[in-house]
Structure 1
């Protein structure tokens, strides 16, 4: 049952279990996936590669994170005041 990344993204329903974040509180999981998405986009864009694999992180953080947080982080990214290291 070897699925390609594209198949996994297409069949995505909700965020799977992540052993790095075993507790009920998923705040860190949310923030980490937001960072991973933007780091992935930055790294693959710099190499002129397809950024489709990064969609996985985006779907995960959009299913876990409150919309207000994502909106605030997006504004901070635009203003250059985002506290995370991307």
Structure 2
């Protein structure tokens, strides 16, 4: 891969919502920072993903955000089949 080449990632609305919520919970967590440890370069893509998701998801400002998040989580878990049930 060339240094200036871009890589595109596409998420479903459910995936984006669940990932955004998870990143919001863990990014400021000291334990998460310890997991990253000396690999500080990982912060660059994590912050970029978090920012893109935050700016692209209007649902995070919705009064029923918690319900929409829960339903998205359930749909994604269901999509895992047996793996999601264990």
Which TM-score tier does this pair reach, normalised by the shorter chain?
0.3 to 0.5
Greater gyration radius = 2
- TM-score normalised according to structure 1 size: 0.38
Normalization by structure 2: what TM-score?
Answer: 0.38
Q: Which has the higher helix share?
A: 2
* Larger relative contact order (CA 8 Å, sep ≥ 6): 2
